[in-house]
Amino acid sequence: MSWLPTLQTATPEEGYELAIKLSRMAVKKTQPDDEARARMRPEYANDADSLIASSHVVAVNFHTVSQANDHWRDR
């Protein structure tokens, strides 16, 4: 099954989780080695600027997901 069957989600919170998934998947596509990614984790998870940059990527993806769901307006 596809890792991205749809951009539609039941709730904003699920949409946010999808935005995080989209953000991580691009990293995975560039660095497919699980161990290499795990090695970097403590480095960026303890660096304020890396965390802010991560949050920026999630924000862009959340914008896309939110639009795809008409901002969950009717819920």
Q: How far is the CB of 34 from its own copies (least distance, A)?
A: 13
* Chain positions contacting its own copies, by CB under 8 A: 2-8, 11-13, 16, 20, 22-27, 29-31, 36, 40-41, 43-64, 66-68, 71-73, 75
Q: Which two tokens stand for residue 46?
A: 């303890």
Q: Which two tokens stand for residue 1?
A: 């099954």
To the nearest 10 degrees (0 to 180), the angle between helices 34-45 and 48-68 is 110
Q: How far is the CB of 68 from its own copies (least distance, A)?
A: 3
Q: How far is the CB of 35 from its own copies (least distance, A)?
A: 11
